[in-house]
Amino acid sequence: MRSGASLSLAVLSSVWIVASAHSTELAVDDENRLGAIPRLELPIEIDGVREEEAWQHAWSAELRYEINPGETTRAPVRTEVLVFHDASHFFAAFRAYDPEPRAIRAHLSDRDNAWADDWVGVVLDTFNDERRNYLLLVNPAGVQMDEIETWPSGSTVWDGIWDSAARITDWGWTAEIKVPFSSLRFQRSPGPQVWGFDAIRGYPRSVFRQMGAFPRDRNNNCYLCQAIKIRGFEGASPGKNIEIVPTLTSARTEIRTDIPDGSYDLTDDEAEFGVTARWGVTQNLTLAGTLNPDFSQIEADARQLDINEPFALFFPEKRPFFMEGADFFESSLDAVYTRTIRNPDWGAKLTGKEGAHTIGAYVVEDERTNILFPGSQSSTGTSLAMANTSAVLRYKRDIGSRYTFGGLATSREATDYHNRLAGLDGDFRFSEKDRVVVQVLGSSTRYPNDVATEFAQPTGAFNDWAFDLLYTRETRTMSYWAQAQDIGRDFRADLGFMPRVDIRRVETGADYLWTGDESDWYSKLLLIGMVAHAEDHEGNLLKREYAARFNYEGFLQSHAFIRPSRVREGFRDREYDLDELYVHFCLKPNGDSHAWINVIRGDRIDYVNAQPGERINLDGGFWYRAGRHLLVEPHFTYEKLDVGQGRLYEARIGQLTAAWQFTARTFLRAILQHVDYRYNVELYEDERDPESEQLFSQLLFSYKVNPQTVFFLGYSDNSIGNQDFALTRTDRTLFIKLGYAWVL
């Protein structure tokens, strides 16, 4: 994972580290583990210069430790962080020294897309619960990146409103960060607060190195438990903590009525006004609502290969209303997936934390009802022209620093249809190495009779259960895990993403890590082995898998793995023996380019005709930055499947993205996605065209003052073709969107 919190796990409270032959290792600075953050009411201009008087009185620390790939070794370069606050803002500044300033990697890019550059930033555990933190980073060109990290589940997108600036100097570079308290959630306390804190620096050269403000012990599975504690923030106030974002969206869409020779008919040519509002009821509780929201997606989904895939494909959420506070609704089973909500008229959401209690809830009125029908060997779905009301409630209770209990309930209601789900879960960190995560859910579902009949679903109301148990043990060099799942045949999570049911599955595995020194040919080596067995509730085999994986990381930021596997898979009353080899290689030879290739070769079932086949899959691409402004990124996927009678299909997907970044706020981007499928129809049981071709294009101008104050102007179209006619445009859309964040 990418952040300082993600690339390492923990810190020793007080140890002496023994010196090695290749590096001088450091002792923990106990005096710096509780920093007193001053409150300073002095003027500050966020320009990256750091000359104001306030910085002379700020709390300071050095990032003395390399924590990746080294483990608490001496940092290769010097970095200093300064921190203070006033009544309404958190401030941080960095001096990032560099012996070769010309080697600093700094490109203009869209927000959250500068991970390949140098960067600095802060980790803020504002509730000091050692479970969740804000991550705010900035690169030397002033591009912001931010996330919310939760432990142990990972990170979620967070588009906070905050200011930053950076400058490259003749000795390195500087950065300043200013975060309004209205963008953060923190403790409700009349006196001083204690926050967990880390300052981190990414230093990408031939090897990517990451530095931090405190040492880490990889024998401890809790990163935030041992972070620096900073004390202060007495009287910190988010102000009125009201944010109102009106939006104006206009689109003109024309659709060709008869393909390929028909004319275009205008289907949409109107402007829509919507508004989203957010109110910080307290420092730690937020109420949000939206009326006639624009839930359109400006960012196009990356096209995925959907040929010969028995289960529905997952696409990440990108709509701002649902991304806000998304981490509050996470659980080990994917019971909440907001992309099932298609076109809401209105929505309301409440998220926050009060002491040991975390709560998240939302309710949405949706004009359309998307339904996924899961199964043990495949899934299907439909979209119904009927409105529904969807609601989700999530609650978690912290017990000490190691245990969390939770509950989850979801409901979706429409005419002659409902899906209701409820259950309990827990996350128990029994020691610094051992963790157990468990969840139990029950569901009740009823489909309209005609839908149940058409898709071979149970009629009337039906119920079932789902269970997930995961145990992990993590040490410095070895990790172990064991997982058991039991998902009933009639279990449904219509507001989630669970395309597979009627399955009992167990898995166990282990890995071993070698960390190299400066003189070694590698920086990391990792060996992984796992076995898994899955069957349905009648005892029929679904999959038995044996797999190993060997990972390498080394010079030129290269990464590679090789993964052989042997699988016995059951499908339509027959079992297949499948051997596969998966190889991956990527590298970043300099700060301007990155290339990768994936190769999968081996046996695969033809799921349409239920027969064995042999597949080869190639997936590769690169990106190249010409100077600070231009990005070119081609991506290509190819797959073919051969069966006993010959070639069954060939599939090609190509995407080309080109973007000119004028500033950190403004870009012009073009995207082309081309899909070409060729089938040997004589070998298929069903009827289909021998050729299928699609082309999507988009041109977008984007200006973002912040994630909510935006201006988008764009054009997109779609074309299709087959064996009878060449690519023909089927629709075209010109759209504009204005949004303004009114912060009170």
pLDDT per residue as tens digits for the range 85-120: 999 999 999 999 999 999 999 999 999 999 999 999
Q: Specify the pLDDT at position 737.
A: 92
Q: Among the CATH numbers 3.40.50.720, 2.60.40.1190, 1.20.1250.20, 3.90.180.10, which is that of 4-232?
A: 2.60.40.1190
Evaluate whether 297 touches 321 at the Cβ level (below 8 Å).
no
Residue 135 DSSP label: E
| pLDDT (mean) for 38-54 | 92
How does pLDDT run across 644-667, given as a tens digit for each residue?
999 999 999 999 999 999 999 999
- Average pLDDT taken over every residue of the chain: 91
CATH 2.60.40.1190 residue window(s) in the chain: 4-232
Question: Token pair of 347, please?
Answer: 């929505």
Asked if residue 268 has pLDDT above 80, the reply is: no
Q: Answer yes or no: is pLDDT of 135 > 50.
A: yes
Looking at residue 299, its pLDDT comes to 67
Taking residues 466-486, report their average pLDDT: 96
What integer is the mean pLDDT of 18-25?
A: 30
Report the percentage of the chain scoring pLDDT > 70.
94
- pLDDT for the residue numbered 296: 59
- 580 versus 401: the higher-pLDDT residue is 580
4-13, 60-69, 100-109, 145-154 — which is least confidently predicted? 4-13
pLDDT band at residue 333 under the 50/70/90 scheme: very high
Owner of token pair 């149970």: 458
Q: How confident is the model at residue 59 (pLDDT cuts 50, 70, 90)?
A: very high
Cis peptide bond prior to 180, omega within 30° of 0? no
Give the angle subtended at the CA of 520 by the CAs of 517 and 521, to the nearest 5°: 140
CA distance 271 to 274: 10
Percent pLDDT > 90 in the chain is: 78
Q: What is the mean pLDDT of residues 365-382?
A: 95
Residue predicted with more confidence, 276 or 579: 579
CA 582 – CA 363 distance, rounded (Å): 43
Position 4 confidence tier, pLDDT thresholds 50, 70, 90: very low
Dihedral angle, C-alpha 226, 227, 229, 235, nearest 10 °: -130
Give mean pLDDT, residues 664-679: 96
Amino acid occupying residue 551:
N
- The residue length of the chain stands at 744
Per residue in 215-229, is it b (16+ CB within 10 Å) or e — as a string? bbbbebbbbbbbbbe
The Cα–Cα gap between 318 and 381 comes to 22
User: Do 620 and 634 touch, CB atoms closer than 8 A?
Assistant: no
Q: How much is the pLDDT for 284? A: 86
pLDDT in tens, 506-520: 999 999 999 998 889
**pLDDT tens-digit map of 681-709:** 999 989 999 999 999 999 999 999 998 89
Closest residue by Cα to residue 197 from 323, 63, 330: 63
pLDDT of residue 33: 60
pLDDT of 387 strictly over 60: yes
- 513/660 Cα distance (integer angstroms): 41
Compute and round to an integer the Cα radius of gyration of the chain. Answer: 27
pLDDT at 5 over 50: no
By the 8 A CB rule, do 120 and 106 touch? no
Residue 31 pLDDT exceeds 60: no
- 495 touches 340 (CB < 8 A): yes
Average pLDDT over residues 568-595: 96
Structure tokens, 706: 């912040």
pLDDT value of residue 316: 83
Sequence-distant (6+) residues with CB within 8 A of 548 are 527, 528, 529, 530, 563, 564, 565
Q: Is the pLDDT of residue 30 over 70?
A: no
Tens-digit pLDDT profile for residues 410-464: 999 999 999 999 999 999 999 999 999 999 999 999 999 999 999 999 999 999 9
Residue bearing tokens 């009802």: 369
- How sure is the predictor about 328, in pLDDT bands with cuts at 50, 70 and 90? confident
Which is more confidently placed, 344 or 587? 587
Which pLDDT value is given to residue 18? Answer: 25
Q: What tens digit of pLDDT does each residue of 603-634 get?
A: 999 999 999 999 999 999 999 999 999 999 99
Rounded CA-CA distance 422/330 in Å is: 14
User: Which pLDDT belongs to residue 722?
Assistant: 95
pLDDT band at residue 11 under the 50/70/90 scheme: very low
Measure the CA–CA gap between 306 and 283, rounded to whole angstroms: 45
- For the segment 233-243, the average pLDDT, to the nearest whole number, is 87
